[in-house]
Amino acid sequence: MKRLEAELKGKAAVERENREIYLEQIKLKAEEQRKTVLESIKTAGTVVGTGITTLLENPSKILMAVS
């Protein structure tokens, strides 16, 4: 009986450790995803901003865009 209890306690401890590792992996993946999304937003903003700046700095490009 004590052997069974010891086995169950050991299995429970291993499962808790595995759960903590799994949760840590989820957190790291979420952090990586957030960084990727933020970088994408920054890149898109830079591209759009550069395009708008170029368009507004050159009046002939404004006429070409309108027509």
How many CA atoms lie within 13 Å of 18's alpha carbon, on the beta-carbon side?
A: 6
Span 23-50, pLDDT tens digits: 999 999 999 999 999 999 999 999 999 9
pLDDT for the residue 3: 85
- The range of the structural domain enclosing residue 20 comes to 2-66
Provide the H-helix boundaries in the chain.
2-57, 59-66
Cα–Cα dist 60/66, whole Å? 10
What's the domain count of the chain? 1
pTM of the model: 0.61
Please name which of 44, 50, 49, 58 lies closest in space to residue 66, comparing C-alpha atoms.
Answer: 58
Cα–Cα dist 49/16, whole Å? 49
pLDDT for the residue 7: 84
